Every structure is written in C-alpha cells, then in structure tokens.
Amino acid sequence: MSAQSSQPHPDQQYIEGLIRGDKRTFKLIYERYFPLIERYVRQNSGQRADAEDVFYKSLEIIYLQARDGLVITQSFKAYLKLICQRRWLNELRRSQRVVLNLKDQPEPYLDAEVIAQIEKHERKLLYRKHFQKLPIRCREILELTFEGKNYKEVAEQLKLNYSFVRRRGGECANTLMKNIHQDPLFNELK
C-alpha cells in the first residue's frame, strides 16, 4: 500500500493499466485471473455468473482504490483474490447459502492495512448504492450539504424554501442512514 515504505510490486502495471482504461490490460487480467476466481466461487456454492459478478465488482473496487493512489506491494493475483474471496464470502453470508469448501483462504502475508483499504472502498460502494436510490431532490440537497453548504445556501441555490430544505435534508439523511444500516453488508463492514 502507499502508506508503506516498500517498493511497488512489479504487478503495479495492472493497476496503472486499469487507471488508463487499457483494454489489453483488462483482457490480460481476465484471461489470467478469472479462471482462478471462477474455480474458487464454484468450489464454494456458486456458479459462473456469480464468479463474473464477484470478479467485476472486485475490479471496480481496485479501480476506485487505484484512482485514490493504490500502490500494491504484493502480487496483483493475491490482491485480487483477497477482494474476490471477501466479496464472495459476504454474498454467501447475505444469501445464507451453504459454504462447501473454504480451502483457498486469503494469503496470510496480506497486511491489515490492505484489508482496511478494501473495507473502506466497500463502504463507499455501499453508500453510493443507497445514495443513488434516493429521490433526485434528496440527492441534490445532500450533495450540496456534503460540499459544505448550509441549508440557507442550499435553499438559495436550488430556489427552494429554507424550511423545506431544512426539513427535507434531515429526512433524506435519515432515510439514507436507515437504508445503509439495514443493508446486510453494513454489519459485515462494521
């Protein structure tokens, strides 16, 4: 990770390719690592479609981390595998499927900082998922308050009544937090 003094792993090239949107890098990652992830998911009560979901969602997490300056100090394979395993195990817990074979556990040398970064981005995805489900007016009000504007400034910018914005902003924030807290993934990420 970037907070460590270790040198980047040679596999950092995959991270850089994802940031650039390089189709060859994506194809190479898919060809090299998807079979590993598919095998893991199938050995643990899943199907190919489940493996594809886990794989693509995990790449999305890595991409978001890369945009935030991710520097890997272990192999890309180990990093991707850890994220995929966590996502699949979370899915199994959420759906209450039976886990058949958990012989391929994450590599022990992946440190706590790596896991903390993964969890941070999973929390961001959880927040975004529920934020996008809010009505447009809620999203507008909350976005402006997150930018540091007070309710009076929000009301002026959106050309709304101050009392409405204050009341609606509180309702929207409460709805967002309630929905996040009710999501099964929330307890996994505490």
Note down the domain range covering 88: 12-115
For residue 1, is it within any domain?
no
For residue 155, is it within any domain?
yes
Lowest mean pLDDT segment, chosen from 2-6, 9-13, 137-141: 2-6
Do 107 and 28 sit in the same domain of this protein? yes
Do 45 and 108 sit in the same domain of this protein? yes
Percent of the chain with pLDDT over 70: 84
Pair 184, 86: CB distance under 8 Å: no
Rounded to two decimals, the pTM is: 0.59
Q: How confident is the model at residue 102 (pLDDT cuts 50, 70, 90)?
A: very low
CATH label of the domain that carries residue 91: 1.10.1740
Structure-model confidence comparison of residues 79 and 116, the more confident one: 79
Number of domains in the chain: 2
Last residue of one domain, picked from the residues 115, 145, 176: 115
Q: Is the pLDDT of residue 108 over 50?
A: no
Q: In this predicted model, what pLDDT tens digit does every residue of 31-73 receive, in sequence order? A: 999 999 999 999 988 999 999 999 998 998 888 888 878 888 8
**Closest of 32, 24, 19, 120 to residue 80, by C-alpha:** 32
